[in-house]
Structure 1
Amino acid sequence: MKRVRITLDPAGDYAPPLYRRLAGEASYLDRVRIVNWNVAAPPTAFLLWLRGDYRRFEAELAASENADEYELLPLTDRECHCFLEGEVADAARLLFENFTQGSLITVPPIECHDDGTNTFSIVGTDADIQNAVEGVPDGVGVTIEAVGGETVAPTSAVGRLSRRQREAAEVALEIGYYEVPRRATTADVARELDCATATAAEHLQKAESKLIGALLEQ
């Protein structure tokens, strides 16, 4: 058996509106995990873990045509579990099913990143993993982050970051943003990343939140 860490970059029908809100568009959410799911047959059900101003997401669920049932279970003022059931496009459901074929087991949670990507681990035979990777549709980007390892979870805090968050943190470290006294500003990081200052600040903030949370085992 083999463990593989994968990042998917869905688009179009493979990225339903509510997923896009969870993976970057809802800037008031600091971190999103898909803890568990049932896509065997419509309607599709998900259990989410949210960190941020999750009450704003509750208001969006109330107005959404795709959310048939939902319930928020507060953990703290900034964290909750969210049960969500609703209709999704067949393409999105089949994308999930692609990683449950044969011997494959998808290991939760799925980490949703603010650049629209998501990262998760699968365990299975070499052949089934290869078939699943090759079975990813053309409209979905796929990146193999890691192969093997002693555990099925990410082996480092860095593994929880999206590609853009990791790039922002690496640039910031390289140009002295984290030195004391600080030798670079957020604007300097943005210039290196060729993005807006506000965008660079958001990447750094979310990267720092994930890294600190991982170190404190939250």
Structure 2
Amino acid sequence: MKYLRLTLRFSGDALHPVHEFIDRHDGVERDLLLHGNTATDGWDTFLFYVDGEREPYEAALESAEQVVDYDLTSLGDGSFYAYLKQEESSIDDQLFGLFSRTGIILVPPVEFVEGGRATLTALGDPEVLQSTLDDLPPEVSASVERIGEYDGRQAAFDPGLTDRQREAAAAAVDRGYYAVPRECGIEDVAAALDCSTGTAAEHLRKAERNVMCALVELRSF
């Protein structure tokens, strides 16, 4: 069973105001679309998992004209669920329609990241996967990051790292930050990331927290 790991890039009116907010604000580390229905009685409904600051995210929802109702549920660890009801969007309708075709399955979650991008996994018939990419609306472009045989066990351990946290962790491992004895300092990791030592240390602390929390939550632990 073939799968694609895709990055979609949204431009113009296709970019949702909340995801424009993510570009501007550092307080949101993860924004995951877990479930969604489009054009149900003229309304679209979505459920997101958000790791970040609730207040500025809620302010972004308040200012988004198409969002008519929402409900935020805090999880007590700096994260929350966001249930949105908004006016019907032709772009969302087209995308959900494309990824609901016979012969293709969209594997949640869809992660929205900086730069008007979304990363997702789709699996199914290779011809249908290709035709789906060919039929994307002009406001949305796609790049294929990975292709191969699908194995759902790949998602069994998901520490939920952001792109920047993964970069920091990779740089630390590559340079021997976690070697025993340690072969480099946080200054070397910061230099690899082209950021301050404080920022590099913060990325690593959050990555380590997420990895250990995900490990403990594994049923087989």
Letter matched to residue 27 of structure 2:
Y
Range 173-182 or range 78-87, more displaced: 173-182
Residue of structure 2 in register with 1:61 after alignment: 61
Give the direction of change, closer, same or farther, for the CA distance of 1:146–1:184 in structure 2 (3 Å limit). farther
Give the direction of change, closer, same or farther, for the CA distance of 1:13–1:165 in structure 2 (3 Å limit). farther
Residue of structure 2 in register with 1:98 after alignment: 98
- Give, in angstroms, the shift of residue 71 of structure 1: 0.8
CA distance in 2, matches of 1:96, 1:68: 20
Residue of structure 2 in register with 1:27 after alignment: 26
The secondary structure found in structure 1 opposite 2:76 is: coil
Residue of structure 1 in register with 2:191 after alignment: 191
- Give, in angstroms, the shift of residue 18 of structure 1: 1.0
CA distance in 2, matches of 1:82, 1:8: 22
Residue of structure 1 in register with 2:146 after alignment: 145
Larger radius of gyration: 2
- Give, in angstroms, the shift of residue 92 of structure 1: 4.8
Q: Which has the higher strand share?
A: 2
Instruction: Assess if the C-alpha contact under 8 Å between 2:44 and 2:89 holds in 1.
Output: no
1:31-54 C-alpha deviation (Å, 9 max, x unpaired): 221110112464322111122322
Letter matched to residue 118 of structure 2:
N
Instruction: Assess if the C-alpha contact under 8 Å between 1:115 and 1:162 holds in 2.
Output: no
Instruction: Assess if the C-alpha contact under 8 Å between 1:104 and 1:124 holds in 2.
Output: yes
CA distance in 2, matches of 1:206, 1:77: 12
Instruction: Assess if the C-alpha contact under 8 Å between 1:7 and 1:144 holds in 2.
Output: yes
CA distance in 2, matches of 1:171, 1:122: 29
Instruction: Assess if the C-alpha contact under 8 Å between 1:104 and 1:122 holds in 2.
Output: yes
Structural mapping, 1:168-183, within 5 Å? 168-179=168-179, 181=182, 183=184
1:65-120 C-alpha deviation (Å, 9 max, x unpaired): 23211111233252322111224753354234332223222122222335653322
Give the direction of change, closer, same or farther, for the CA distance of 1:2–1:217 in structure 2 (3 Å limit). farther
CA distance in 1, matches of 2:47, 2:188: 39
The secondary structure found in structure 1 opposite 2:152 is: coil
Instruction: Assess if the C-alpha contact under 8 Å between 2:69 and 2:84 holds in 1.
Output: yes
| Identical pairs, percent | 31
- Give, in angstroms, the shift of residue 126 of structure 1: 1.8
CA distance in 2, matches of 1:77, 1:183: 31
1:145-181 C-alpha deviation (Å, 9 max, x unpaired): 24223317636547x5555543332122222444565
Instruction: Assess if the C-alpha contact under 8 Å between 1:16 and 1:92 holds in 2.
Output: no
CA distance in 2, matches of 1:6, 1:169: 22
TM-score, normalised relative to structure 1: 0.76
Instruction: Assess if the C-alpha contact under 8 Å between 2:33 and 2:109 holds in 1.
Output: yes
How many residue pairs were aligned? 215
RMSD of Structure 2 on Structure 1 (CA):
3.4
TM-score, normalised relative to structure 2: 0.75
Range 13-22 or range 122-131, more displaced: 13-22
- Give, in angstroms, the shift of residue 137 of structure 1: 5.0
Instruction: Assess if the C-alpha contact under 8 Å between 2:4 and 2:144 holds in 1.
Output: no
Give the direction of change, closer, same or farther, for the CA distance of 1:74–1:102 in structure 2 (3 Å limit). same
CA distance in 2, matches of 1:198, 1:136: 41
Structure 1 unaligned spans of 5+: none
